[in-house]
């Protein structure tokens, strides 16, 4: 039965038909040779046995190398015994390992008959750099070498040797070979196979399937290649008396490695201070054993690291490895420094002053001694010259209360060996001229250049302070320095400068015994671009233009000033434009825009440190058709408004043409109305009394400027009556004489409320005539007539009305004067017997 199978060969998967069990031994491959140099040709043959009845006697044999395409053989023929043979020559084998397949066609696929593995590589090169060391710890001779280039074939390395004489030309007894382990380039010859102080020849032989090679022979005496082990270092405890007299020294001892005690050795010592950038210092020609060794003249480093190594003295050999590091602290000496001081005083109350003192040590020599702390004291006369300690700290500043009687204090630096020279701190007063023209500018991210103009009086030096001006920063930690040269007017600050931080820098001149007033300046350490640009706003837009505006950022302390603005805008087609503006401008008009188009606009703010863009603004210009529609709507609205206003005016005028617009006495204050002219005027009524009768009354009337009515025209026959006697005005002053008439009303009509007459023939009886006005006068029991009633009022039930016969000379009807509502506001003059009327 034939089945489908698969095999994977070095990353290549071949699919083939499994042979029937009766055909398993039909094919066979032979390769000559199976291992070749990389790139050499390979000859292979594949034979099919005549016993394979399942195969066609004329079956064509095919070949395939690794994953290359299937190809026929160079030549295929029948042998005399009926065997079919196919030969193929591979001109160049470029694989270090590959499989060669022999195939025959089978139905719609190919059948695998046999396969063979090919190897290609290089013969081994001669090993080089052979060296040997005699390790006393393992008591063996260890040799190592370099194998040479890769052969791509399994290669073995064998360490061979024999005993000989001094020149190794004579071969003596052979020493057993040492075969190196796979992928190792060293091998050891045990002590039992060695003869000390006798020469031996040693070499390395490399072999693989393509050949072998040997390294040059090495002739040596095992004792000449001895590598010792490092000695053992130890620290020594020295008494305090010795330490105090010899500062800056170390005491130590060492012993050789025990198996090498019988050998004469020479040793080296090296030491290094644990400081950044420090180098090793060597001490040569030391003996292999020392019970006490003194190392002096050391710098005042906190800790020193020491190591030692040894070699056979006056004989060939190799240095031992460096011993493990021994860490020792050198003895101390009193600090030899100068303390520069600076203080700030604060008056808490009249008898108490708070002082913050700063100091900075300056070494007076290369080895100035280690500082363990600072002591600030004051000698009080009340304590018989004993020092009162104000501060004992390891910091470079101190805050204390200064006694009122103290003029100065003393500051020293100390360690276990003693104290430095005392520095007297004198509290100076702020007097003298200050510096001018103080200026600061960042040089880079970690330095600031400060310069100033010298004051009029040349100082002895300058005090420079700097600190970060930040709410989160503790102002008690200030950096400061004293420049002793008064001729210098500039300095570069390098210490404690952090990038992009705002610093407050203070400079004060130092005069003999006093200090000048401090002057401050602010600057950033390392300039950077503005954090943000002003936001753009669209103020107006048209069809081909747009007006933009922005609000500049308010200036801040230490802020780097802007140099200019740049506006960028681009249309939908990515056509971009830009314009640079002066920093004083706060708006700009974009011109020559396309109507009904979208534009993206950005504002860039630039300083000398960089630029920053604002958030983008998108605008759309107006469409002319949209503008026409807008104007049309606006005109329509204005026309509608005009029509409505006109209609309202016409409606009100139509109303007043039928109903006179007069003041409403029911909602007025008639009692406060006074005549403008108080002088009496008399007129004669010839129809009622003769000329001999004196005028007994003056009639005043309340009127509003109206056109004369038909009532006035009917009474026009009484030519002897005067026209309007007097007019009343609201809140008028009776003492003022006014010749001005009342302003005309809206209708131009003159409405006469009433005429009051008194007959001499009927004393005590007074009649009144009402006007034909249809306007209500007073809200009372005597209402005005309706529009369909006549002009006569209905008399009230309680009033006595005496009608008089009509007369041509009399056009009035007499009645009780006070029945008329307006009589409450009348003043009658001329006769006193009218009952106070």
Q: By the 8 A CB rule, do 259 and 281 touch?
A: no
- Beta-bridge partner residues of 77: 85
What b-and-e string marks burial along 388-422, b requiring 16 or more CB atoms within 10 Å of the CB?
A: eebbeeeebbbebebbeebeebebbbbbebeebee
Q: What are phi and psi of 481, to 5 degrees?
A: -160, 155
pLDDT band at 658 (very low <50, low <70, confident <90, very high): low
pLDDT per residue as tens digits for the range 164-173: 887 888 888 8
d(CA 504, CA 473): 12
DSSP notation for 116-128: EEEEEE-PPPPPE
**176-190, 483-497, 711-725 — which is least confidently predicted?**
711-725
pLDDT (0 to 100) of residue 664: 59
Burial of 239 (0-12, 13-18, 19+ CB in 10 A): exposed
Q: By the 8 A CB rule, do 201 and 168 touch?
A: yes
Which residue is associated with the tokens 């002739």? 219
Backbone φ/ψ region at 147: left (φ over 0), alpha (ψ -120 to 50), beta: alpha
Q: Is the confidence at residue 114, as pLDDT, over 60? A: yes
DSSP notation for 786-813: PTTS-SPPPPPTTS--------SS----
**69-83, 333-347, 473-487 — which is least confidently predicted?**
473-487
Q: By the 8 A CB rule, do 57 and 79 touch?
A: no
Q: What are phi and psi of 657, to 5 degrees?
A: -70, -25
pLDDT per residue as tens digits for the range 358-395: 888 888 877 777 788 999 988 876 666 677 888 999 99
pLDDT per residue as tens digits for the range 192-218: 988 888 899 999 999 999 999 999 999
Q: Is the confidence at residue 242, as pLDDT, over 90? A: no
pLDDT (0 to 100) of residue 679: 45
Question: Which residues have CB under 8 Å from 206's CB, separation 6+?
Answer: 124, 125, 126, 127, 147, 148, 155, 156, 157, 158, 212, 213, 214
Q: What's the N-to-C CA distance of the chain in angstroms?
A: 155
Q: By the 8 A CB rule, do 29 and 102 touch?
A: yes
Q: Is the confidence at residue 176, as pLDDT, over 50? A: yes
DSSP notation for 614-641: ---EEEEPPPHHHHHHHHHHHHHHHHHH
pLDDT (0 to 100) of residue 108: 80
pLDDT (0 to 100) of residue 772: 52
Q: Of 704 and 40, which is predicted with more confidence?
A: 40
Average pLDDT, the chain: 76
Q: Is the confidence at residue 762, as pLDDT, over 60? A: no
Q: By the 8 A CB rule, do 86 and 71 touch?
A: no
Q: Of 705 and 236, which is predicted with more confidence?
A: 236
Q: Of 669 and 14, which is predicted with more confidence?
A: 669
Neighbours of 42 (CB within 10 A): 22
Which residue is associated with the tokens 């090495």? 218
pLDDT (0 to 100) of residue 135: 87
pLDDT (0 to 100) of residue 719: 44
pLDDT (0 to 100) of residue 178: 94
pLDDT band at 231 (very low <50, low <70, confident <90, very high): very high
pLDDT per residue as tens digits for the range 585-612: 989 999 989 888 899 998 999 887 778 8
Average pLDDT over residues 460-467: 89
**Token pair of 365 as six digits:** 């020599």
Question: Which residues have CB under 8 Å from 764's CB, separation 6+?
Answer: 835
**405-419, 597-611, 771-785 — which is least confidently predicted?**
771-785
pLDDT (0 to 100) of residue 138: 85
pLDDT (0 to 100) of residue 469: 79
Q: Of 24 and 45, which is predicted with more confidence?
A: 45
| Residue (of 585, 583, 602, 524) closest to 556 by Cα position | 524
Average pLDDT over residues 32-59: 84
d(CA 681, CA 675): 13
pLDDT (0 to 100) of residue 152: 93
Q: Identify how many contiguous H helices and E strands the chain contains and give both numbers.
A: 3, 58
Average pLDDT over residues 63-67: 90
- What is the enclosing helix (H) or strand (E) of 240? helix 240-245
Average pLDDT over residues 651-666: 58
Pairing mode, if any, of strands 226-227 and 128-135? parallel
**72-86, 576-590, 721-735, 816-830 — which is least confidently predicted?**
721-735
Q: Is the confidence at residue 780, as pLDDT, over 70? A: no
- What is the enclosing helix (H) or strand (E) of 651? helix 624-658
Q: Is the confidence at residue 94, as pLDDT, over 50? A: yes
pLDDT (0 to 100) of residue 325: 94
Average pLDDT over residues 536-565: 84
d(CA 681, CA 759): 18
Burial of 446 (0-12, 13-18, 19+ CB in 10 A): middle
DSSP one-letter code for 652: H
pLDDT band at 240 (very low <50, low <70, confident <90, very high): low
Average pLDDT over residues 40-67: 84
Neighbours of 52 (CB within 10 A): 22
pLDDT band at 800 (very low <50, low <70, confident <90, very high): very low
**Token pair of 609 as six digits:** 């440190």
For 666-762, list the strands marked E by DSSP: 673-675, 703-704, 728-730, 751-752, 754-758
d(CA 712, CA 757): 15
Average pLDDT over residues 682-705: 46
Average pLDDT over residues 507-531: 84
- Beta-bridge partner residues of 402: 353
Measured in residues, the chain has a length of: 837
pLDDT (0 to 100) of residue 690: 47
Q: Is the confidence at residue 265, as pLDDT, over 80? A: yes
Average pLDDT over residues 468-479: 65
Q: What is the largest CA-CA distance in the chain?
A: 195
pLDDT (0 to 100) of residue 127: 95
pLDDT per residue as tens digits for the range 331-356: 877 888 888 888 877 877 777 788 88
| Residue (of 407, 403, 377) closest to 390 by Cα position | 377
d(CA 413, CA 333): 12
pLDDT band at 60 (very low <50, low <70, confident <90, very high): confident
DSSP one-letter code for 368: -
d(CA 480, CA 485): 16
Q: Is the confidence at residue 140, as pLDDT, over 70? A: yes
d(CA 699, CA 136): 158
Q: Give the whole-number percent of the chain exceeding pLDDT 70.
A: 71
Q: Taking the model in full, what pTM does it have?
A: 0.43
Q: Is the confidence at residue 716, as pLDDT, over 50? A: no
d(CA 188, CA 144): 9
pLDDT (0 to 100) of residue 384: 63
């Amino acid at each position: 039965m034939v089945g489908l199978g698969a095999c994977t060969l070095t990353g290549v998967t071949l699919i083939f038909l499994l042979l029937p069990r009766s055909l398993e031994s039909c094919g066979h491959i032979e390769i000559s040779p199976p291992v070749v140099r990389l790139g050499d040709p390979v000859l292979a043959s594949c034979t099919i046995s005549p016993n394979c009845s399942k195969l066609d006697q004329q079956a064509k044999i095919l070949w395939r190398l690794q994953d290359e395409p299937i190809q026929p053989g160079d030549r295929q023929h029948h042998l005399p015994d009926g065997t079919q043979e196919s030969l193929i020559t591979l001109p160049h084998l470029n694989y270090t390992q590959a499989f060669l397949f022999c195939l025959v066609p089978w139905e719609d696929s190919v059948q695998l008959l046999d396969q063979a593995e090919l190897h290609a590589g290089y013969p081994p090169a001669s090993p080089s750099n052979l060296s040997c060391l005699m390790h006393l710890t393992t008591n063996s001779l260890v040799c190592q070498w370099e194998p040479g280039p890769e052969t791509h074939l399994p290669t073995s390395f064998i360490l061979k040797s024999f005993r000989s004489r001094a020149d190794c030309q004579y071969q003596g007894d052979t020493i057993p070979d040492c075969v190196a382990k796979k992928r190792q380039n060293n091998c050891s010859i045990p002590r039992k196979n060695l003869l000390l102080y006798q020469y031996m020849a040693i070499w390395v032989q490399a072999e693989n399937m393509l050949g072998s090679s040997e390294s040059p022979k090495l002739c040596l005496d095992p004792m000449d290649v001895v590598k010792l082990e490092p000695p053992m270092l130890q620290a020594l405890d020295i008494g305090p008396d010795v330490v105090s007299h010899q500062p800056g020294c170390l005491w130590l001892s060492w012993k050789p490695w025990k198996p090498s005690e019988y050998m004469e050795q020479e040793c080296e010592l090296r030491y290094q201070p644990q400081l950044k950038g420090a180098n090793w210092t060597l001490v040569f020609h030391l003996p292999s054993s020392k019970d006490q060794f003194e190392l002096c003249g050391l710098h005042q480093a906190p800790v020193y690291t020491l190591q030692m190594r040894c070699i056979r003295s006056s004989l060939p050999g190799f240095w031992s490895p460096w011993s493990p590091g021994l860490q020792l602290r050198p003895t101390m000496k009193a600090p030899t420094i100068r303390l520069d001081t600076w203080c700030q005083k604060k008056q808490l109350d009249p008898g108490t002053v708070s002082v913050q003192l700063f100091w900075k040590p300056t070494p007076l020599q290369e080895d100035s001694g280690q500082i363990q702390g600072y002591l600030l004291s004051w000698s009080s006369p009340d304590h018989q010259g004993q020092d009162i300690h104000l501060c004992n700290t390891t910091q470079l500043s101190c805050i204390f209360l200064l006694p009122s009687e103290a003029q100065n204090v003393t500051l020293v630096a100390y360690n276990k060996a003693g104290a430095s020279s005392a520095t007297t701190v004198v509290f100076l007063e702020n007097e003298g001229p200050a510096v001018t023209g103080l200026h600061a500018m960042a040089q880079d991210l970690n330095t600031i250049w400060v310069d100033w103009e010298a004051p009029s009086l040349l100082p002895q030096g300058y005090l420079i302070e700097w600190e970060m001006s930040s709410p989160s920063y503790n102002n008690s930690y200030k950096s400061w320095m004293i420049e002793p040269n008064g001729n210098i007017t500039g300095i570069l600050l390098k210490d404690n400068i952090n990038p992009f931080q705002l610093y407050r820098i203070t400079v004060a001149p130092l005069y003999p015994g006093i200090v000048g007033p401090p002057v401050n300046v602010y600057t950033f350490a390392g300039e950077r671009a503005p954090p943000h640009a002003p936001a753009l706003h669209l103020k107006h837009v048209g069809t081909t233009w747009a007006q933009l505006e922005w609000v500049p950022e308010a200036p801040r302390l230490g802020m780097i000033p802007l140099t200019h603005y740049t506006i960028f805008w681009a249309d939908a087609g990515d056509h971009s434009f830009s314009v640079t503006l002066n920093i004083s401008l706060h708006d700009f008009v974009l011109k020559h825009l396309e109507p009904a188009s979208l534009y993206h606009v950005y504002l860039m703010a630039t300083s000398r440190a960089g630029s920053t863009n604002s958030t983008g603004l998108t605008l759309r210009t107006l469409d002319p058709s949209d503008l026409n529609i807008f104007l049309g709507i606006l005109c329509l609205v204005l026309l509608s408004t005009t029509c409505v206003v006109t209609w309202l005016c016409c409606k009100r005028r139509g109303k007043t043409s039928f109903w006179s617009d007069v003041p409403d006495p029911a909602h007025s204050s008639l009692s406060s109305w006074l005549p403008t002219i108080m002088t009496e005027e008399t007129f004669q009524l010839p129809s009622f009394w003769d000329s001999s009768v004196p005028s007994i009354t003056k009639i005043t009337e309340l009127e509003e400027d109206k056109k004369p009515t038909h009532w006035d025209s009917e009474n026009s026959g009484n030519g002897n009556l005067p026209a309007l006697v007097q007019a009343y005005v609201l809140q008028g002053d009776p003492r003022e004489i006014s010749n001005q008439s009342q302003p005309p009303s809206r209708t131009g009509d003159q409405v006469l409320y009433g005429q009051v007459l008194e007959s001499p023939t009927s004393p005590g009886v007074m009649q009144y005539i009402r006007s034909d006005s249809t306007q209500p006068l007073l809200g009372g029991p005597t209402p005005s007539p309706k529009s369909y009633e006549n002009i006569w009022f209905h008399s009230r039930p309680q009033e006595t009305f005496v009608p008089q016969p009509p007369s041509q000379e009399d056009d009035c009807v007499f009645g009780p004067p006070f029945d008329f509502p307006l009589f409450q506001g009348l003043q009658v003059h001329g006769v006193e017997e009218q009952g106070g009327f």
